[in-house]
Every structure is written in structure tokens, then in C-alpha cells.
Amino acid sequence: MGEIVPWVYKNIYSNQKYLESRDYLINNHLLKIKQNLDNEININQNTGNLVWDGAYILSKYLYRLRLKNKKCIELGCGTGLVGITAWTYGADITLTDIEEVIPLVKENVSVNVDKVLSDKTSDNNLELSKDNIRIKTLNWGSENCKDLDKYDIVFGSEILYYSKSHKALIETLQQICNENTLCVFIYKTRNLGEEHFFELAKNEGFTIEFIDNKKLVSEFQESEYHLFYMKKKGF
């Protein structure tokens, strides 16, 4: 009998990064996330069509947060993994991204919400509902966010890689955050100007708290991924 090899996310014998869909066991639910591989994907284009490692790491971290009945929003949701995961923990969540990404998000939300609601292993105490997960087109910047509410928690996964968008991102956060809002972001050090975001955020009245990598899923504790909290200073 062959040796049983423990399952790992990063498996050198089975690269799933570019499969049409990927399966994730998170919060006792098997989530099936479709990817759109029809167009070239790189750091400059179509990034929302693929599940990046940061989305997986953040999704696995969410059990540490008290999300039940929290009003949440995800910025740059991409395929929707983080937002869907937050919903399974009882969050009332809005997933947002640019217009061309929305059809893929809608498909992933529809498939997985129906599956989770029909799953007999679901936590009945959470009273999950389709009404508590929604999708919205959002381009960052103050002019585009005037109609948005204030949120309890803001999620962002790998959205710092493009430094030219940092100002618009901060403007968005200014609109949707108050002093009680917790922003939970994850990024990978790519030397693409990520530090510019932190400087800008601090200058605009946000505090930054980096989370110990030992609290990340074990495979990524020694990686270049970093999770941090942001809060708006009260005045």
C-alpha cells in the first residue's frame, strides 16, 4: 500500500492554479470557484479572473473574526472566494469589483450560495440567506462611493500591487469607513510600490497593525504574504 500524503495547497505534483475551476474546503464547505482563463492573465490585466493565493490565505483566516451579522464589503473581490467565505460565517456582505469581473463573481456566488444553503452540514445557528450576499460594480475613488454606506469590516486581498490606484483606494476607504470600521487586508511583497500605500494611509489618518504570520494558514507562514488591520483614527 502506498504512503498516504497529507493534502497541501501548494502541491508540486498537482498545479491547480490554472484549472477552469478550483475547489476549496473552507468552514466545512466545499466551495467551487470558477476561473476565467480565456484572456491572458498577468499583474497588469485580468487579475480578477484568477484565484490568487492571498484570497485563499485571507479566507482561511476569517474564522478568527466575529462575522455573524457584521456589515461587510470586499473591495476588488475578483472571483469572490473571500466574500463567499465571509458569508458562510454569517456576514452580511457586498462583493465589489470593476464591471468586467462582475459576471464571473455572479456565477460563483450563485453556485456556491445554492450549494451551501442545501448543505445539511451548514450551521443552522447562522441562518444564512441569499439576501445577505450581494454584488456591486465599483470603481474606486470618492466620486464613485458617495452612495455607499459605512461598514463594520472591509476586506481586501492582493489589491496593493498597482501603486497608481492607491489614492483612489484610500478615497474609497475614507467614504466607507468610520472610526469603528476594521479593514482586513492581505498583500504579497512584490516590490511594486506597496510601501507607498502605507505612507498614504497613515497620512490620511489610518492606523496600521500587521498580524503575526504565525496566525496565517501554516503553508504560508514563511511566505512573502502579509496580513494587516487598518482603522480610521477617531478625532
Each residue's pLDDT tens digit in the chain (235 positions)? Answer: 455 444 466 654 445 777 889 999 999 999 999 998 876 655 555 566 789 999 999 999 999 999 999 999 999 999 999 999 999 999 999 999 999 999 999 999 999 999 999 986 666 567 899 999 999 999 999 777 888 899 999 999 999 988 899 999 999 999 999 999 999 999 998 777 788 999 999 999 999 999 999 999 999 999 999 999 999 987 5
| Amino acid letter, 49 | N
Closest by CA to 145, choosing from 165, 167, 163, 171, is 171
State how far the Cα of 52 lies from the Cα of 42, in Å rounded to an integer: 11
pTM for the full model?
A: 0.90
Domain boundaries, the chain: 21-232
| Amino acid letter, 199 | E
Sign of the Cα torsion 199, 186, 102, 178 reads negative
Q: Are 132 and 44 in contact (CB under 8 A)?
A: no
> May I ask the CATH class of domain 21-232?
alpha beta
State how far the Cα of 235 lies from the Cα of 232, in Å rounded to an integer: 9
State how far the Cα of 160 lies from the Cα of 227, in Å rounded to an integer: 12
